[in-house]
Structure 1
């Protein structure tokens, strides 16, 4: 499918260039665009020449990509492509012109003398087109290489992030459970109602962890619900020593983030600040 599309584009632009070149040269010579019957034949010939030349350049470029890729020797490939394309266009134009003159039973000397200036313009424009084509070919190659590198870097970063999240999740569960069980044992007899809520919130957080263990992204709204449940557990442990303020705009709730990221921020904030009633920790998200 990709090759067919490129062939279609090559055919279209070859036809367009052949038509534009003929009309430009014809107008520059005659000063008008009224074609006679014989000149219409020349126009058709230029379209055929443009198509064959363009498709030939397309396949030659593909051949060079296999035999002399750009990344092996860019400068050499550039010069080789210029020379090969120029030879191809020259031989093709000369051969087809000879066939056309023979087919139309025209005298080559008289034809060259009559259309000397037009042929000279055609040669100059042909060289310019070959140069532009080679530059575009190199530009497309450079862009594709850059895009491939960017895609690869994104894939590597995504893989690393996924691995990091898996490691963090595996580290979270035992540590998380140990702290939670200690908290339950300390409040079970002193405040049974809080202990019951604590167990419910703990179950909710574990349910969320299990539900998101195979997900790379979750809606922010779900993550915030989990954070609130997790903060209830922290509040039960630290009491007035910790405070949480959620100040995210509502419009961001539909955004996606990796699961457990906000929980890890809360856990690290508590872990590295040692909150106490005399020195409470205020967390704002």
Structure 2
């Protein structure tokens, strides 16, 4: 794919260019420059004399010849010498061509002007003054052309860098989400195996509920964030799976303010925390595991008592995964506080 700088396609940049890049705009600009040039010379050498339209047309043509030649050469070298990768070479080529092209235009003007206007050749003084003013005008044009090209090239590079950065963030985010699925599947299959050993009917109910829950997992993986109300529905269904096995050993209380229902958080965030709570704590009728979930100050807060298991295998990827996903969505941090008797996690909600 050719870059914007190479062929001047307005597919990456929005808005109007800072210089007259289309032919009509350039033509008006060149006519204006040629007219001003002629008026300045006329006021110096032909003060009080009527303006000659042939001289005006010749001046306009001269500036069109110089400007379009430089612009055309700039466009030709753009493909092989883009500004953002060959800045020095581009400047040298363009300056060199501009000097040669301008010299040719001056040579043509010196010998063609008398024939066009039907007058005498230009005096040395008139020639030198005209040359100086012409150099000034052409220098302005070339500087503007440089500024325009560099601006457009820099804008293109910045947009490309931003696009690549966003693509990387999306890929990293999906990679982090993909870490959750195998973890989720492995733990719940282990739970299902444990239930089968004791109650086959409960295992069937668990498998049916699990299929519904996993359908949500697959669907939520398509989104970077999800509404709290949807995540809460899933959490209740997911908690019911464990309630089937743990009975009175697991107590989950929900106290969420409905004003936060349409706020967002990463998918499976609350599920991951509930999973960790169950995984690292004993939950029996004699020593129940109690989890409280509530909202406060734009946060979801999950607090559980600690009934720590003596041996628990952990890869320590769950909470770090959750922190990374939050970093990609917001500058607000996940807060984790562990005391002797309580484990507390605060998840910031994202207002959309």
TM over 0.5: yes
Matching residue of 2:172? 160
CA RMSD of aligned residues (A): 4.3
Distance 1:235 1:102, change over 3 A: farther
Question: Cα deviations across residues 148-172 of structure 1 (Å, max 9, x unaligned)?
Answer: 2222222223223223323432332
Q: Take 2:76 and 2:64, find their aligned partners in 1: how far apart are those partners?
A: 18
Match of 2:214 among 176, 198, 206: 206
User: Could you list the per-position Cα deviations for residues 132-156 of structure 1 after superposition, in whole angstroms to 9, with x for gaps in the alignment?
Assistant: 3223323322332232222222222
Say yes or no: does 1:63 pair with 2:63: no
Give 1:93 shift.
5.2
1:9 aligns with 2:21: yes
TM-score where L is the length of structure 1: 0.68
Tell me which residue corresponds to 2:93: 80
Question: Distance between the aligned counterparts of 2:219 and 2:197, measured in 1?
Answer: 27
Alpha-carbon distance between aligned partners in 2 of 1:84 and 1:13, rounded to the nearest angstrom: 23
Give the corresponding residue for 2:185. Answer: 173
How many pairs does the alignment contain? Answer: 271
1:271 positional shift = 4.8
CA distance in 1, matches of 2:261, 2:67: 52
User: Contact 1:22 / 1:46 at 8 angstroms: preserved in 2?
Assistant: yes
Tell me how far apart the structure 1 counterparts of residues 108 and 270 of structure 2 sit (CA, whole Å). Answer: 72
User: Secondary structure at the residue paired with 2:28?
Assistant: helix
Are 1:10 and 1:58, in contact at CA under 8 Å, matched by a contact in 2? Answer: no
In structure 1, which of residues 109, 112, 124 is the aligned counterpart of residue 122 of structure 2?
109
Secondary structure (helix, strand or coil) at the match of 2:139 reads helix
Residue 149 of structure 1 corresponds to: 161
The question of whether the paired residues in 1 share the 8 Å contact of 2:213 and 2:237 is answered with yes
Give SS of 1:9's match: coil
Larger % of strand: which?
A: 2
Tell me, which stretches of 5 or more residues in structure 1 are unaligned? none
